[in-house]
Amino acid sequence: MNKLTILIALAFFVGACHEHAHEHAVGGELKLNAGKKWPADAITRDTYTAIGKDLGAAKITDNATAQKFASMQDKRIADLLKGCTMTGEAHNQLHVLIAKTSADVAALRSARPDQLEPATAQLRATVGLFGKYFE
C-alpha cells in the first residue's frame, strides 16, 4: 500500500473530523442503528452512488487504469469529507465505511496486475455496504 496515499487519506479524515469537533470511529466494524439503517445526508448518498456507478462502468485492466480510477475515487472521497453534514453515531459509522473504502482504493492503486480483479471486487463489496447500513 502506498504510504503517501494513506497519509493523504488520513489528513483528509482528520481535517474533516476536526471541523465537526467531535470524535469519530476510525476502524472497527459497521453496525446498524438498533437494527435499522443510519440516515445519510445527500452528499454521502450521491458519493456512494457515484462510486458504485464508476465501478459498474470501470474497465480496470492494468496499473494505469487502476491509478486513474483510484485518483478519481480519492477526489470523490475528499469532496465527501469536505461536504459531509452528518453528526452523531451515524457520522461515526460513516467514517468506519470511509476508512474501509479509502483502504480499498489504496489497495487497488498498489495492486499487482494479477490482483486488479480481486482488489476491484473488494472495493465493490465495500461500496455495497453503504446500502446495507445507510439510507
pLDDT digits (tens, 9 = 90+) for 69-113: 999 999 999 999 999 999 999 999 999 999 999 999 999 999 999
Domain annotation covers residue 33: no
Domain annotation covers residue 66: yes
Domain annotation covers residue 31: no
- Residue 117's CB is within 10 A of a number of other CB atoms, namely 12
Domain annotation covers residue 28: no
Domain annotation covers residue 48: yes
Domain annotation covers residue 105: yes
**In percent, how much of the chain has pLDDT > 70?**
80
Q: What is the pTM of this model?
A: 0.81
11-37: string of b/e by CB count within 10 Å (b at 16+)?
ebbeebbeeeeeebbeeeebeeeeeee
How many domains in the chain? Answer: 1
For residue 51 the three cell numbers come to 462510486
Question: Which domain does 61 fall in, by range?
Answer: 3-22+40-133
CA–CA dist 116, 104 (Å, integer): 11
Domain annotation covers residue 86: yes
CA–CA dist 89, 69 (Å, integer): 30
Domain annotation covers residue 27: no
